[in-house]
Structure 1
């Protein structure tokens, strides 16, 4: 018996080792250290800290805090992400089952009458008997080649990836809420500017009317002012429209109806500086949930390859049964009723029409795909960080220029109004100066909203507080 098993194992090893030659994956995981960014990041202020999990609180708006928390608790997208994570975890639990022994128990009770005209003569023939059987079964697959362990590792990797993807969904949702909230703040600022513009135009209209009555201006100047007033009212209507649309969008992100948006008040955001952590890009691998998820899926695909290769080797199974069987219940537990059994089985695929090689080739292709998806995700992650840093630098430069231009425009407007009131300036000069002030104020409001939006995007690009070490605990 031992010699037979040894021979079968030797033949199996020889056949198995030879059968998958020439089938290997081609993908190679990128190393973050190879993504050079030192020159691009030179001169950027750095900090040892990464964004915190509740990063939105740094903007100092309690209403935003409540909106984000409400979205995370009630969004269908978050429930979907949790369901996917639960599904992947259940699959891992199923994959773990073959690693341990399978033990079962059973009781069979059968009432049977034997024919009086068959092979059993009386008194058995023509009589009825109750057959009772008790059995405790045991089965165990000896995972010599690591097939089941690799399959479990792959399933566990996919479960971890689903968890990371759940956090990525959380980050996408929270940053979306914050981003729309910034748009709402921007629309309120635009409404203020439009109302101020209307008030200025109406004041100029009143002044011009007085000058017309005094004979200092003609009706032409008055009509020019009156023509500009409807345009200001149009901008008010446009800003009010954008406010309503932003509220509707926020309500949808919260998983609520449009009426929820009506209760959202004007934002009171403050600009919060976001510094670059000192270990970028080295630590970005463990801080971006999408990068972590892609890495785990690539590693899971590698374990799928190991499991597929193990399919070429023989399966070795042990089985045992301890039980008792009797046609009379009173004798069921007597020694003579025992029916013990023990066995071992070795099964080796010899001809399968190329199924195993095809399966392995498919697992290799899955791995190559997962690797390139990871490489692309890692590259995109670093690019997103650099993009937002570039935008922040640009916003800072533009803000200084706009502040200077606004101060000059406001001074020019005051002078133009004073000259017009004194009768030594024209209405066109006043209107032109007013347009310059409006333009610079609009640019300043746009830049403030832009700075907030870019800060949110940078926090998202840095992972939004995700930490691989914490996730593994």
Structure 2
């Protein structure tokens, strides 16, 4: 008993140092976001459907079904399930059967009596064997719990990969729509420039302008056409990116038509974001499971300090002659209790436990870092959405003012009261303001998608109950 006590106390000074952080609120970000708060505002599972574009919906579903990244994640889950089954087998008895025929010469000077000694004989033997480890200290149970935690963490990694993939497709799709909108804007400008060029020719014919005005009006046309060509190149690149995200070749991108996404007029945010975040972000929940698994692995390391008790037993038949093999007198049986206790192992057990303590600290700090990053991610999207609303309002006013100025200058130019340089200046100003407006509208799509991603993309797994109560470090 004294040996057991000493063995159990030999690691009492080894404990992890880190603790999972308690998620405190981001009430300041919520209160300053100036958005509607709703208890039902968590993203849905298919959160991208809010943009009401059937093509986008089909692209995301295709990517999730065919992505090599997700298939790799699924393979890792499968592997973890197999490892979990291996650990679970340690909780059950080990049952085997052995049958053998051995040709053996028995020693003339050994323990074998005459007439067998010094002769060659065939030894026929068949046994039924049972082995079982008495898991008094919970070593095997903790190993199984650790394997379960690792497997669940990988399942959540698969969900996180699906969230990242769907978010990447949505963002690439938003970029594609923005490029099409920029082409529309550039084409409108080119049409206006062609009209101005025609008007300049008429003014020259009426001796109201000079040849310099004609050359200036013509000079802007190649630049606008080159800009349109550059935008069309960007469309091809955007489609290639989407095809890659789908796990397909570039030809798949050629079949993607122009996006028709609709922007929601208002954005609502859920209540109790800090408290419920751990149930909606797969990366956060995955890290919690890793903390749980690391805590169980720490318990395995502790159990190695205690005695190991194994029971083995066998029953069977053994005979030198085959014709007496099934005789009742040929039966053999035995039972072996085995007891082992580490007394001196050069600090190996302490080193192993110390390493597991450090692994637990690392898992906890990675969880804490994930929580901090998740909260910052949400706060960033809320802040950007808040100020984007004001920027869009101001930009709409800037576009209206620039367009009004351009219309006025065009009318004066047609009447011979303004120069072409004034027309060119107002055209460039209006184009720049409209470009900024299109970019801001695209950013609104992007921020809404980022907020859905930051809130977990609609995934709501079952939380580990033990992680929310006490840490494994407190159970020692």
- Taking structure 1 as the reference length, the TM-score comes to 0.92
Instruction: Give the corresponding residue for 2:416.
Output: 423
What is the CA–CA distance in structure 1 between the aligned matches of 2:113 and 2:124, rounded to whole Å?
22
Q: Aligned pair in 2 of structure 1 residues 127, 343: CA closer, same or farther (>3 Å)? A: closer
Instruction: Give the corresponding residue for 2:36.
Output: 45
Q: Aligned pair in 2 of structure 1 residues 12, 466: CA closer, same or farther (>3 Å)? A: farther
Instruction: Please tell me whether the aligned partners of residues 52 and 261 of structure 2 are also in contact (alpha carbons under 8 angstroms).
Output: yes
Q: Aligned pair in 2 of structure 1 residues 87, 232: CA closer, same or farther (>3 Å)? A: same
Q: Does 1:250 align with 2:242?
A: yes
Deviation at 1:154, TM superposition (A): 1.0
Q: Does 1:237 align with 2:229?
A: yes
Deviation at 1:447, TM superposition (A): 1.2
What is the CA–CA distance in structure 2 between the aligned matches of 1:122 and 1:286, rounded to whole Å?
77
What is the CA–CA distance in structure 1 between the aligned matches of 2:109 and 2:165, rounded to whole Å?
79
Deviation at 1:155, TM superposition (A): 1.3
Instruction: Please tell me whether the aligned partners of residues 45 and 276 of structure 1 are also in contact (alpha carbons under 8 angstroms).
Output: yes
SS of the counterpart of 2:18? coil
My pick for the range that moved more, 114-123 or 70-79, is 114-123
Q: 2:325 aligns with which of 332, 354, 358?
A: 332
SS of the counterpart of 1:374? helix
1:71-470 counterparts in 2 under 5 A? 71-111=63-103, 129-272=121-264, 273-469=266-462
Instruction: Give the corresponding residue for 1:6.
Output: none
SS of the counterpart of 2:462? helix
What is the CA–CA distance in structure 2 between the aligned matches of 1:278 and 1:128, rounded to whole Å?
85
What is the CA–CA distance in structure 1 between the aligned matches of 2:300 and 2:111, rounded to whole Å?
53
Deviation at 1:230, TM superposition (A): 2.1
Q: Aligned pair in 2 of structure 1 residues 117, 81: CA closer, same or farther (>3 Å)? A: closer
**Structure 1: which 5+ residue stretches go unaligned?**
1-9
- Taking structure 2 as the reference length, the TM-score comes to 0.92
Instruction: Please tell me whether the aligned partners of residues 63 and 267 of structure 1 are also in contact (alpha carbons under 8 angstroms).
Output: yes
Cα-Cα RMSD: 2.2
Deviation at 1:165, TM superposition (A): 0.5
What is the CA–CA distance in structure 2 between the aligned matches of 1:128 and 1:362, rounded to whole Å?
55
What is the CA–CA distance in structure 2 between the aligned matches of 1:239 and 1:40, rounded to whole Å?
37
**Structure 2: which 5+ residue stretches go unaligned?**
466-476
Instruction: Give the corresponding residue for 1:15.
Output: 6
My pick for the range that moved more, 224-233 or 289-298, is 224-233
Deviation at 1:304, TM superposition (A): 1.1
Deviations 1:365-384 (A, max 9, x none): 11111111000100110110
Deviation at 1:410, TM superposition (A): 2.0
Instruction: Give the corresponding residue for 1:65.
Output: 57
Deviation at 1:128, TM superposition (A): 6.3
Q: Aligned pair in 2 of structure 1 residues 121, 434: CA closer, same or farther (>3 Å)? A: closer
Instruction: Give the corresponding residue for 2:468.
Output: none
Q: Does 1:31 align with 2:22?
A: yes
What is the CA–CA distance in structure 2 between the aligned matches of 1:53 and 1:364, rounded to whole Å?
37
Deviation at 1:130, TM superposition (A): 3.8
What is the CA–CA distance in structure 1 between the aligned matches of 2:286 and 2:324, rounded to whole Å?
61
Instruction: Give the corresponding residue for 1:3.
Output: none
Instruction: Please tell me whether the aligned partners of residues 56 and 65 of structure 1 are also in contact (alpha carbons under 8 angstroms).
Output: yes
Q: Aligned pair in 2 of structure 1 residues 205, 394: CA closer, same or farther (>3 Å)? A: same
SS of the counterpart of 1:325? strand
Q: Aligned pair in 2 of structure 1 residues 122, 29: CA closer, same or farther (>3 Å)? A: closer
Deviation at 1:324, TM superposition (A): 1.5
My pick for the range that moved more, 215-224 or 153-162, is 215-224
Instruction: Please tell me whether the aligned partners of residues 12 and 314 of structure 1 are also in contact (alpha carbons under 8 angstroms).
Output: no
Number of aligned residue pairs:
461
Deviation at 1:56, TM superposition (A): 1.4
What is the CA–CA distance in structure 2 between the aligned matches of 1:148 and 1:16, rounded to whole Å?
19
SS of the counterpart of 1:51? coil
